[in-house]
């Protein structure tokens, strides 16, 4: 029987009804040394739609996405033993076309961080370098794909939570335009900023998953063929905030990628000047999220089969920085005027973002995904030393730096697709992110597929 996964071009081959891929994925997940999973199916689930497009294809879902037959803990002790009341529509859509959910993946506690550090479950380890973080908050999903256990895994993104693990694990990540994929059936943080997305082993898998999850957008303007043969890719200038905060290793990978793309005939690199997107984001993004966290979580906790008060959640979290953020959100809970002002500023940011892409006639903006390589894992001693005296920074330090480049687009609600730079060394991948105009997701995925092919076809030019 033929399935979507038989089509080649970077897609894993499926054996359909015999379930070989699912059995193999389950075995790998149960013995995964990278701690990608917090729950794995007890027996090999069979596709409920054996003749559907994704029949026999295993996938995983982040532990803040509700799914029948699995717990939903968001990696916090306060939610151990709980499950939600409704399945995520994204999970349901994939199951409806035959994909088989084999387990729930690890994450940063309550998605309030970017390292997937230990909380209710141990920290997720980066498959590219076991001394380092897989990123977060969707770290388990990134690790499960990088380890070759599943071809794709669902995550969520409020401000870099798909981009960061995709970049640090050397795989592909897609954050759709906010509102394009349903965010129902999740442990929420911010209704304004949250979206479900996917981490995958190729752009082709991302394209196929998007067609399943967001079919009504296939007729959207973003799905029309381009009117020009050359892709216009915006490149920030060297003084831009997307570039100036980068470590030497990231900057080197960034420059090498530009050298490759500059020689590709069907790509036009367009120098762009940041109109102030970072500054505009800083005026509103954090205020919106902090106001919404306590409201969103309170509603979610109240809908559980056994409701939990917000204060009890706060008291039972494992990580001090997560508790601090919950406290900070309580401090913003009644600031309705500040919240309303922040929403107006976000609308201005969205207009600025749209005008920026239109003014340069961009197919996408390209920038280094994360200004730093994957951070060292925490250690039980105060300072975890790595090679040449490198230390493990605190989660708070990592959060500020790792989210820097993705913040403007994520707050604006723009789509972003992250792909690995063509070369990296010593197990430290570097990600490159293509960001599109809002709701131009299908065009962005098409462009990303072409850019990824060109990067890797021409990488040998740097030797």
Residue 18 has pLDDT above 90, yes or no: no
pLDDT at 382 (0 to 100): 42
The answer on pLDDT for 333 being more than 70 is yes
pLDDT band at residue 85 under the 50/70/90 scheme: confident
| CA–CA dist 110, 116 (Å, integer) | 10
Question: Mean pLDDT throughout 222-249?
Answer: 83
Closest CA relative to residue 240, chosen from 270, 276, 269, 268: 276
Share of the chain above pLDDT 90, in %: 81
Alpha-carbon distance 371 to 318, whole Å? 28
What 3-state class would DSSP assign to 169? helix
Per the structure block, which two tokens stand in for 34?
A: 């990278």
Q: What is the pLDDT of residues 373-427, one digit of tens each?
A: 999 997 644 444 444 456 677 888 899 999 999 999 999 999 999 999 997 666 6
pLDDT average, residue stretch 296-300: 97
What pLDDT sits at residue 183?
97
At 222 the pLDDT is: 47
**220 with 451: CB under 8 angstroms?**
no
Q: How far apart are CA 36 and CA 33, in angstroms?
A: 8
Q: Which helix (H) or strand (E) holds 270?
A: strand 267-272
Task: Identify whether the C-beta of residue 435 lies closer than 8 Å to the C-beta of residue 251.
Answer: no
The tens digit of pLDDT for each residue in 19-71 reads: 899 999 999 999 999 999 999 999 887 766 777 889 999 999 999 999 999 99
* Helix intervals (H) in 1-78: 20-30
Q: Which residue has the higher pLDDT, 1 or 189?
A: 189
pLDDT of residue 31: 97
CB 107: neighbour CB atoms within 10 A?
34
Number of domains observed in the structure of the chain = 1
Distance CA 455, CA 446 (A): 15
CA 66 to chain centre: 17
Instruction: Please tell me the least confidently modeled range out of 171-175, 257-261, 392-396.
Output: 392-396
Alpha-carbon gap, residue 133 to 139, rounded angstroms: 8
Contact indicator for 155, 60 with CB cutoff of 8 Å: no
Predicted local confidence at residue 460, as pLDDT: 63
Contact indicator for 414, 356 with CB cutoff of 8 Å:
no
Tell me how crowded residue 275 is: count the other CB atoms within 10 A of its CB.
Answer: 13
Mean per-residue pLDDT, 192-213: 98
Residue 345 predicted with pLDDT over 90? yes
C-alpha 201/C-alpha 12 separation (Å) is 9
The tens digit of pLDDT for each residue in 101-156 reads: 999 999 999 999 999 999 999 999 999 999 999 999 999 999 999 999 999 999 99
**pLDDT value at residue 457:** 85
State pLDDT tens for residues 300-323. 999 999 999 999 999 999 999 999
Higher pLDDT, 220 or 165: 165
Give catalytic residue positions.
62, 137, 161
Q: What is the pLDDT of residue 463?
A: 53
Quick one: pLDDT band at residue 14, thresholds 50, 70, 90?
very low
Structural domain of 373: 4-462
* Mean pLDDT, rounded, of the chain: 90
- Helix (H) / strand (E) containing 397: helix 395-402
Contact 266, 443 (CB under 8 A): no
- Report residue 165 as tokens: 């693990």
Is the pTM of the predicted complex or chain greater than 0.75? yes
Asked whether the predicted pLDDT for residue 281 surpasses 60, the reply is: yes
Quick one: average pLDDT of 170-197? Answer: 98
Q: CB–CB of 270/232 below 8 Å?
A: yes
Q: Calculate helix-pair angle for 320-332, 285-303, nearest 10 degrees.
A: 100
pLDDT of 349 reads: 98
What's the pLDDT at 378?
A: 79
pLDDT for 381? 40
CA distance 330 to 426: 42
Which pLDDT value is given to residue 45? 77
- Residue 4: pLDDT over 60: no
Nearest Cα to Cα of residue 126 among 114, 112, 111, 113: 114
CA 112 to chain centre: 14
Q: What element of type H or E holds 278?
A: helix 277-282
Bridge partners (DSSP) of residue 432 are 368, 419
Distance CA 431, CA 419 (A): 6
Summarised one tens digit per residue, pLDDT across range 237-255 is 999 999 999 999 999 999 9
Whether residue 338 is predicted with pLDDT greater than 50 in this model: the reply is: yes
pLDDT of residue 425: 60
pLDDT at 186 over 60: yes
CATH number, residue 364: 3.90.1300.10
**Which residue(s) pair with 103 in the sheet?**
40, 60
């Amino acid at each position: 029987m033929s399935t979507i996964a038989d089509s080649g071009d970077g897609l894993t081959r499926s054996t359909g009804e015999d379930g070989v891929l699912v059995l193999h994925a389950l075995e790998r997940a149960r013995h995964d040394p990278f701690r990608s999973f917090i729950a794995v199916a007890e027996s090999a689930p069979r596709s409920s739609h054996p003749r559907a497009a994704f029949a026999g294809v295993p996938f995983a879902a982040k532990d803040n996405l509700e799914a029948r037959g699995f717990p939903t803990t968001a990696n916090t002790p306060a939610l151990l033993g709980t499950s939600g009341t409704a399945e995520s529509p994204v999970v349901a859509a994939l199951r409806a076309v035959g994909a088989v959910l084999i387990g729930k993946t690890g994450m940063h506690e309550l998605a309030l961080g970017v390292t997937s550090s230990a909380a209710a479950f141990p920290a997720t380890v980066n498959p590219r370098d076991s001394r380092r973080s897989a990123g977060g908050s969707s770290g388990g999903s990134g690790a499960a794909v990088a380890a070759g256990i599943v071809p794709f895994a669902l995550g969520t993104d409020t401000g870099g939570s798909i981009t960061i693990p995709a970049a640090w694990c050397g795989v592909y990540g897609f954050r759709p335009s906010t509102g394009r994929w349903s965010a129902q059936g999740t442990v929420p943080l911010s209704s304004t900023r949250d979206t479900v997305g996917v981490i995958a082993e190729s752009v082709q898998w991302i394209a196929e998953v998007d067609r399943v999850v967001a079919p009504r957008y296939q007729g959207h303007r973003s799905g029309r063929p381009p009117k020009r043969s050359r892709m216009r890719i915006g490149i920030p200038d060297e003084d831009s905030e997307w570039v100036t905060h980068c470590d030497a290793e990231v900057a080197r990978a960034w420059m090498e990628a530009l050298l490759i793309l500059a020689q590709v005939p069907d790509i036009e690199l367009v120098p762009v000047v940041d109109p102030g997107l970072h500054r505009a984001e800083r005026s509103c993004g954090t205020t919106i999220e902090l106001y919404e966290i306590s409201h969103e979580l309170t509603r979610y906790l109240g809908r559980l089969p056994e409701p939990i008060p917000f204060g009890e959640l706060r008291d039972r979290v494992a990580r001090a920085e997560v508790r601090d953020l919950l406290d900070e959100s309580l401090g913003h809970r009644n600031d309705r005027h500040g919240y309303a002002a922040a929403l107006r500023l976000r609308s201005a940011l969205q207009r600025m973002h749209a005008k920026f892409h239109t003014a340069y006639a961009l197919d996408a903006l390209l920038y280094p995904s994360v200004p730093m390589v994957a951070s060292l894992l925490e250690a039980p001693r105060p300072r975890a030393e790595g090679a040449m005296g490198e230390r493990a920074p605190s989660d708070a330090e990592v959060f500020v730096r790792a989210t820097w480049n993705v913040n403007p687009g994520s707050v604006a609600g723009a789509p972003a697709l992250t792909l690995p730079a063509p070369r990296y060394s010593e197990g430290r991948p570097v990600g490159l992110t293509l960001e599109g105009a809002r709701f131009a997701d299908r065009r962005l995925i098409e462009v990303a597929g072409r850019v990824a092919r060109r990067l890797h076809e021409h990488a040998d030019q740097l030797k």
